[in-house]
Amino acid sequence: MASWTTRQNKKFEEALALFDKETPDRWHNIARCVGGKSAEEVRRHYELLLKDIMQIENGQVPLPNYKAVGSNSRGYANEQRLLKNLKLQ
């Protein structure tokens, strides 16, 4: 399986926000936005993302042990907030 660049991942995330489950030809539209990937590659990438999210939400992936920077440890709190709010379905 070909790797995804940081730019392709960003475009993928943006396209997911534009084309929901009800969009006709969703994977073709997302692939067109990503560039360099087929509709099938995009669909598989989405399925892997869902699997990763399920593992995180089920506590199967340990959270990183972030060090506090200075007296402000909000970076960890922000990460927790983002994980809590990440729902793609």
Confidence of residue 72 (pLDDT cuts 50, 70, 90): low
In a domain, 25, yes or no: yes
pLDDT, greater one: 36 or 71? 36
For the chain, the domain total comes to 1
CATH number at 19 reads 1.10.10.60
Tell me the CA distances in angstroms from 64 to 2, 7, 54, 56, 67, one per residue in order: 27, 24, 17, 12, 9
What's the whole-model pTM score? 0.66
Give domain status of residue 74, yes or no: no
Secondary structure class of 40 (helix, strand, coil):
helix
Give the pLDDT confidence score for residue 63 in this predicted structure: 75
Judge whether 70 lies within some domain.
Answer: no
**Residue 78: is it exposed, middle or buried by C-beta count within 10 angstroms (0-12/13-18/19+)?**
exposed
Please indicate, yes or no, if residue 71 is contained in any of the structural domains.
Answer: no
Q: Specify if 76 maps to a domain.
A: no
The answer to whether residue 13 is domain-embedded is yes
Domain carrying residue 44: 1-62
